[in-house]
Structure 1
């Protein structure tokens, strides 16, 4: 009898177990044929949730209808079917003419369940370990990677995938004595019971006017808050709401804009020529699949010009809010409870009466000081990815480099991390929002899932 040896399992380490990390694990298991040993480093108790889907607030809804949230190309309608099977749908409060916008916690539960079922189907061939810790360093030694954890543990891997989100944003302004410790100063709106210290009649300053602001205003309303809310940002832009979903328009027409201005003019021409019954939404959505090629063709200076001049306007059109959230914001504005202003906060002080005094600078440089009962920071994710200690370590030793616009890590089209010399590092990958500066866009859940599905085969094969 001839003895046969069992091949050693491929060791895959996934750093970050939110949506991106969980979807990578799912696709890696499905695409693999041999034994696979996965370790996920994620401090949260549940995989697949991350910041976005850990919220338990039922007023926090996914900002994409459920029929567009499938994570596998060949399983159209899988997310919606799961929601129906688990009694989450039908739900009049979630459903709109453009689709079902369920609470984000429910979508997080869906991702976790898909991961569990995928692992169960591959039992005996695949093992997954969840280490509730963070990584502080990733080192390459002759093709084998070593991950150093916060506790000093070392994890060996053949492939490493960086799937964590950005760091908590830096404070946007100077804080006077006692401000950081005040119960009514909310630096992290995602923390448990973050808004508990805000009374129903409190006047509230929200710093930021994007998606996080929309969640905070909606949450306050659900808690019975009826005081005045002032939301400020440099441009005072609010997220747009959804329209008709259509992604098959030929937006580029074979054009390859060479400058930021040409790119802007191309989009404006397409919107002007769009069917009035459809509006601008299909143009923006149809641009997404073409964006990696368009972005890759722009010179570095023009990419930086897009980020500096156009990114805020792109984001409010691209990252839209659920109709239910839009209705809540519009209602609050109509009642006079919500006011949106163009201003930059430059300082916060604690007054003798315990209220917070904000120093606000207007567009022309004039400043004013106004008092509020509470202040909530909603400035969005940190754009300086180097503030993450692990990224800082990778940059310091040349293992990784920043993209040309400074939004995240530089990766090639297969998501392999580029080192300080610009070369792709075999075995080291990055996925999710930290790669948006390399692709032009990589923040929405559907985009992340599709990219992972396209590239996971190369990761498993160890392409060089």
Structure 2
């Protein structure tokens, strides 16, 4: 009997996991995939409502395969999605939707390979309501539309949650048709009015995507951003540079704590105080070591980092393409974009506008502005227990998984991607954003592609061991 492997969530991570499973397997199995149709095979990130949404990393560094760094660039040349121009394709920042086509092409190839290998693929365009872990290690998955599926191995590859609603006095406001909790929905930039400003809560990369979407729709009004760390543009242009800075990482000790990392960064920043480019390279040099650094911190270090240094890290790490950087600066210079530092206190609904009460950090007092709509760009929520409809919340309540100590994701053995629980027979795995509490940086293609391949290796090994064990039992029975 064929083993059944179930993948819940089929964006970039789920797709690459499935592709590696098919590629690495030398025996037939049944692959069951569950995800809603609208983002199937690409996820929210690579199927956006706007072609103005651009990758923040150059094409040459966006291969879906760690061991084939030019794979994406070669695909671009073969398919002619992008014609070569004066600048080399590998140094260009391309549309996320083009990248989505690339991921789809990988899956199409994997589907054909599955047919040759007699691997059956069954797809359910639905959402998972809940799941149960059985004593034999299998998982029973219950879908929203009533279907019940049993799999031998289950991988949770769910992506980012939508932003959490802020705690305000008038919580009923969140039912207002001019409030948008999910900034990645196309409705965010439809039916726009210029009579009052648009308010964006947050000042990060999702705010930039929203700004680009508003500009594409020819929005002529004012845009206001309010966030705790506002006051000016907090973005660094991403200028392609193949240089590396190795001095800092050569000094990283095997025993790492937050204070030593801060001292080391300060030392190298002062040493290169006259070079902004070198400062960027210093930060980039830490990214491959982020997992080791984060796991070297104790819980207190992690809490201090999240409270005091997370926004600084995000500012230094997250870059935007130079063209996008110039557009945002132009908006700011023209006074069409105003960035405030403050805390939202409440929203009051009126017939033709929304009254926003907030504490202005610069002025040190409560202020009020009137806006036409409110878009939540505070970033994905991490604590899944704060969401009403969430399979992870239901699974935790049943004891199938637990949160990490900081409530950023799921407690997981990062050596084999198995979710940590008390079940003796445990064939439940996870990867991607659910590992944030374990390794912190777990959202970029560079990390996700490695996780997908490693997790696939682990599952193929498990299936191979099971198949071998059953064959030995069968041969023993025949004797």
Tell me if TM exceeds 0.5.
Answer: yes
Please say which of residues 61-70 and 170-179 is displaced more in the overlay.
Answer: 170-179
Distance 1:398 1:160 in 2: 16
Structure 1 residue corresponding to 2:33, chosen from 19, 22, 40:
40
Please say which of residues 174-183 and 73-82 is displaced more in the overlay.
Answer: 174-183
Closer/same/farther in 2, CA of residues 435 and 84 from structure 1, 3 Å limit: same
Closer/same/farther in 2, CA of residues 356 and 442 from structure 1, 3 Å limit: same
Specify the alignment match of 2:322 in structure 1. Answer: 323
Note if contact 1:395-1:420 (Cα within 8 Å) is conserved in structure 2: no
Note if contact 2:237-2:319 (Cα within 8 Å) is conserved in structure 1: yes
1:110 shift after superposition: 0.7
Aligned residues: CA RMSD: 2.7
Note if contact 1:233-1:343 (Cα within 8 Å) is conserved in structure 2: yes
Runs of at least 5 residues in structure 2 that lack an aligned partner in the other structure: 466-479
Specify the alignment match of 1:4 in structure 2. Answer: none
Alignment of 1:248-267 (within 5 A): 249=246, 251-252=248-249, 253-256=251-254, 258-267=256-265
TM-score w.r.t. the length of structure 2 is 0.87
TM-score w.r.t. the length of structure 1 is 0.90
Closer/same/farther in 2, CA of residues 285 and 28 from structure 1, 3 Å limit: farther
1:223 shift after superposition: 1.8
Specify the alignment match of 2:440 in structure 1. Answer: 440
Matched, 1:152 2:146: yes
Specify the alignment match of 1:31 in structure 2. Answer: 24
Matched, 1:394 2:391: no
Note if contact 1:96-1:323 (Cα within 8 Å) is conserved in structure 2: no
Note if contact 2:129-2:142 (Cα within 8 Å) is conserved in structure 1: yes
Specify the alignment match of 2:99 in structure 1. Answer: 107
Specify the alignment match of 1:123 in structure 2. Answer: 115
Note if contact 2:407-2:437 (Cα within 8 Å) is conserved in structure 1: yes
Closer/same/farther in 2, CA of residues 90 and 202 from structure 1, 3 Å limit: farther
Alignment of 1:299-378 (within 5 A): 299-352=298-351, 354-363=352-361, 366-378=365-377
Closer/same/farther in 2, CA of residues 37 and 301 from structure 1, 3 Å limit: same
Distance 2:133 2:245 in 1: 42
Structure 2 residue matching 1:122: 3-state secondary structure: helix
Q: Deviations over 1:149-193 (max 9, x none)?
A: 222322111211111123322211437498445544333222233
Specify the alignment match of 1:21 in structure 2. Answer: 14
Alignment of 1:64-463 (within 5 A): 64-90=57-83, 99-125=91-117, 126-141=119-134, 142-174=136-168, 176=170, 179-180=173-174, 182-200=176-194, 202-236=196-230, 238-243=234-239, 244-246=241-243, 249=246, 251-252=248-249, 253-256=251-254, 258-273=256-271, 276=275, 278-352=277-351, 354-363=352-361, 366-386=365-385, 387=387, 389-420=390-421, 426-462=426-462
Closer/same/farther in 2, CA of residues 455 and 314 from structure 1, 3 Å limit: same
Runs of at least 5 residues in structure 1 that lack an aligned partner in the other structure: 1-7
Q: Deviations over 1:374-402 (max 9, x none)?
A: 22221111121233521112211222111
Closer/same/farther in 2, CA of residues 96 and 85 from structure 1, 3 Å limit: closer
Structure 2 residue matching 1:59: 3-state secondary structure: coil
Closer/same/farther in 2, CA of residues 461 and 80 from structure 1, 3 Å limit: same
Note if contact 2:355-2:371 (Cα within 8 Å) is conserved in structure 1: yes
Note if contact 2:34-2:123 (Cα within 8 Å) is conserved in structure 1: yes
Distance 2:299 2:348 in 1: 40
Note if contact 2:128-2:391 (Cα within 8 Å) is conserved in structure 1: yes
1:104 shift after superposition: 0.8
Closer/same/farther in 2, CA of residues 74 and 179 from structure 1, 3 Å limit: same
1:404 shift after superposition: 2.2
Note if contact 2:237-2:320 (Cα within 8 Å) is conserved in structure 1: yes
1:359 shift after superposition: 0.6
1:272 shift after superposition: 3.6
Structure 2 residue matching 1:12: 3-state secondary structure: strand
Distance 2:94 2:356 in 1: 36
Distance 2:339 2:209 in 1: 15
Note if contact 1:175-1:349 (Cα within 8 Å) is conserved in structure 2: no
Matched, 1:12 2:5: yes
Specify the alignment match of 2:470 in structure 1. Answer: none
